[in-house]
Homo-oligomer: A and B are copies of this chain.
Amino acid sequence: MEKKWRTAISWHFDHEAYVRGYKLADLIGTLSFTEAIFLVLKGELPSEREKRVLDSIFVSLVEHSIAPPSVIAARAVASGGNSLHVGVGAGILAFGEAHGGALEGAMRFLQENAEKDPETVVNEFFKEGKRIPGYGHRYYKKYDPRSLKIMEIAEREGFYGKYCEFAGKVEKIIEKIKGKKLVLNVDGAIAAVVSEMGFDWRLGKGFFIIGRTAGLVAHVYEELTMEKPFSKRLDEEKEVEYLGLSPRELPERFRKRD
């Protein structure tokens, strides 16, 4: 009978933990954390070049201010009187379509289209009124400095291939069609580079999650050690707009009940 629980990731042989065939105890002190992550995700050990590229990607994602919904959720949950891991778990739940989703979307876009003619692809997207994930930024209008860095590293390490090229062409075509530049943003750049490294777009959100977890841990720790419980409570007068009904009387048939 086929078993319900199946995995190729890790196993115990003689009560010793093995990860992707390597004894875990042998990896301690031998691999860097990034190399171990690569092994877990990809099934094989990375080259020095792959490690350096992946390091640059995780660093670019490690923390991005208190502002995003994930940190709001994480700190609000912590302020309800919870342990560290519950706050962090809630923060990760916020990584939906609109929060980290661009990375997955951009990977999918590149992996499904990089063999096609970029101009045709862009035109089709725009004809259907769809946005191309990985392009555009609130403040960066000429270039996203993080994307430049990541692309530069990818090139230096030999990972500037068809996906990076395609991503660059699309940026130019968008500008030609729209008459204004939508810069290849950091999600788009990461998407191109991890695609070069052979990662499936369905794993895209995973890079975001792994990269950002440290930031969430730091925020929840700060909340738990620096703030009072229940501090994350809205001030209705100052922070909330009420769009509902004014006070009203209960209908007769309910008042009679009591």
Contact = CB atoms under 8 A, between A and B. Distances in A.
Interface of A: 2-13, 15, 17-34, 36-37, 40-41, 43, 45, 52, 54-56, 58-60, 62-73, 75-77, 79-86, 88-90, 92-101, 138-139, 145-146, 149-150, 152-153, 200, 202-203, 205-206, 208-211, 213-215, 217-219, 221-222, 224-227, 229-236, 239-248, 250-251, 254-255, 257-258
A7 B96 contact: no
Given A33-B55, A149-B29, A65 B236 contact: yes
A9 B244 contact: yes
B85 A205 contact: yes
B85 A245 contact: no
Contact of A240 (B7, B84, B230, B234): B7
A235 to B, nearest CB: 8
Contact of A233 (B15, B67, B97, B221): B67
A53 B226 CA distance: 28
A214 B36 contact: yes
Contacts of A245: 8, 20-21, 43
